[in-house]
Amino acid sequence: MARGRDLRREKSDKLSDAGVMSSGDLAEMRRSLSHLNIDAVRHAYHTAYARCRMVNDRVPSARSIQELVQVWKQLWKWR
């Protein structure tokens, strides 16, 4: 009997094509942000925030939102 398509694999392939960060990518970003000084992280926050702005109904990418959240979390830890 032939096997059906593996929908889980197709879904993960589509997510990686869409620019979604994996859990390993997110962990690496958290690690690298923790080594920066506060000014560099603030600059990263403003850059990520600018990429996430909705201009002319353009929806930001999932990767941009993930980056913004990770930088925000690092700033929140340091408050």
User: Nearest-CA neighbor of 74 among 44, 30, 39, 40?
Assistant: 30
User: How large is the average pLDDT for residues 16-36?
Assistant: 89
pTM beyond 0.85: the answer is no
| Within a domain: 7 | no
Q: Looking at the domain assignment, is residue 64 inside a domain? A: yes
Length of the chain: 79
Structural domain containing residue 34? 22-78
Residue bearing the bigger pLDDT, 2 or 74:
74
Task: Read off the pLDDT of each residue in 48-68 and give the average, rounded to a whole number.
Answer: 94
User: Is 65 contained in some domain?
Assistant: yes
Q: Which residues contact 52 (CB under 8 A, 6 or more apart)?
A: 60, 64, 65, 68
Q: How confident is the model at residue 19 (pLDDT cuts 50, 70, 90)?
A: confident
Higher pLDDT, 24 or 16: 24
Evaluate whether residue 40 is within a structural domain: yes
Contact 52, 64 (CB under 8 A): yes
Number of separate domains in the chain? 1
